[in-house]
Amino acid sequence: MPGEYGCVADKPWDSALGELTRLQNTLAMDPITITGLHAMKREGRKIVGVVAWDAPMAELAERAGVDFLSVGDSVGKNLWGHATETEVTVDEMLVVCKAVRRGAKRALVSCDVPGGADAMSAARRLVDEGRADMVKVHASPEVVAELSRAGIAVFAEFHGARPIAELVDEAKRLEGAGAAMLDFRHSGPDAGAAVTKAVKIPVIGGLGGGPWLDGRVRMAHAAIGYGMSWLDSNVETYAHVASIVQAALAAYAEDVRAGRQLKGQRG
């Protein structure tokens, strides 16, 4: 159950704070690279990714010890109110990619190539203008190879719900095409474990992933319970920020209407 500040924790607060201090000390280390993520896989260390769309969230995630930030086209549906992610353009992705890049000093930054966009043109812009370290595409091994030959690091996405042998074969072909990392969606424990073992590059999972992969990525908004869908949800998450925000803004509105001085007001 949520505590006084809407947080769910498996550890006592003193232990959690000690862990946070340890993670914050990693900020003094060198920036994380793709080579570093590959080393993490070889050493059996789990890779932590967070989907972020703005500089403050990128900074917070980095201070929490996240390894990479994924700038997802999910921003369209979850932040801008679009009906689907397909409405997001390359120009819009550049806005959020630049924002996350400004907030990230150590974490590696990956940015989605919007569906329907020309992969090469979009990827070049996201790397050159958005300063992304890597781009995520849902594309064939041929497209991945073209991007890789152009010197663009690729986070290649593919989906489950197929025979394990087919999934392993696709993962190997994407790796052979030069993919730096794989986003295996809806992997499940059997296919996920088989694919992770079959390739040398990190296999990350968001939707439908699990501990059988090399790491996980999750939207920061989902991890902290921020958004209208979390107000009346009983789904366990790491915090319940939506209810905190609603209560805080209601208290602010009450102070304004009552003619009281505002909390935290400067000047």
Give the Cα separation of 266 and 30 in Å (integer). Answer: 36
pLDDT one-digit tens code per residue, 166-222: 999 999 999 999 999 999 999 989 999 999 999 999 999 987 889 999 999 999 999
The 3-state DSSP class for residue 163 equals coil
List, in sequence order, every residue forming a beta bridge with 215; answer none if it has no partner: 47, 204
**Strand 108-112 to strand 134-137: parallel, antiparallel, or no bridges (unpaired)?**
parallel
The CATH code of domain 32-224 reads 3.20.20.60
> E strand or H helix at 42, and its extent?
helix 34-42
Residue 9's pLDDT band (boundaries 50, 70, 90)? very low
> What's the rounded mean pLDDT across residues 56-85?
92
Residue 77's pLDDT band (boundaries 50, 70, 90)? confident
Across all residues in the chain, what is the average pLDDT?
A: 89
Ranking 13-17, 130-134, 147-151, 222-226 by mean pLDDT, the lowest is 13-17
List, in sequence order, every residue forming a beta bridge with 77; answer none if it has no partner: none
pLDDT at 19 over 70: no
pLDDT at 79 over 80: yes
pLDDT one-digit tens code per residue, 217-265: 999 999 999 988 788 778 888 999 999 999 999 999 999 999 999 998 7
Higher pLDDT, 190 or 26: 190
pLDDT at 63 over 70: yes
**Amino acid code (one letter) for 61:** A
Enter the pTM of the model.
0.85
**Strand 181-185 to strand 203-205: parallel, antiparallel, or no bridges (unpaired)?**
parallel
Contact 93, 73 (CB under 8 A): yes
pLDDT of residue 227: 82
